[in-house]
Amino acid sequence: MVKFLNTKVYFFLCIGIVCYFLSMYLLILFEISFTPLNVFGELITIPLLIGQIVLLFWGIKIYSSKKDHLILAGIIMVSLSTILTIGSFLKFI
């Protein structure tokens, strides 16, 4: 296990990823079209989507050995964000 990833760092990484995908959803919902923002979104979306899934599985692995409420909150946030993100790609929502 990586030593720098403590519970607070994991929790703030989860918040960052969830905030990014929430902001992308709101930009699409309100049809805000700003070219630099769209370019930034296109560049960052795929790496953060992969990171979101890796962070979810990593959090489950950490939580199985170390029961902490911040890790559980991060797992719940990232899992909901993953379901909504993949669901929006598949048109389930």
> Could you read off the pLDDT of 35-89 as tens digits, one per residue?
998 898 889 999 999 999 999 999 999 899 888 999 999 999 999 999 988 887 7
Residue-level pLDDT at 91: 67
Residue-level pLDDT at 85: 87
CA distance 91 to 50: 19
CA distance 56 to 66: 15
**Is pLDDT of 3 > 70?**
no
Residue located via tokens 């962070």: 55
Residue-level pLDDT at 4: 61
Question: Which three-class secondary structure state does DSSP give residue 69?
Answer: helix
CA distance 51 to 71: 16
CA distance 93 to 86: 10
The count of residues in the chain is: 93
**Is pLDDT of 93 > 60?**
no
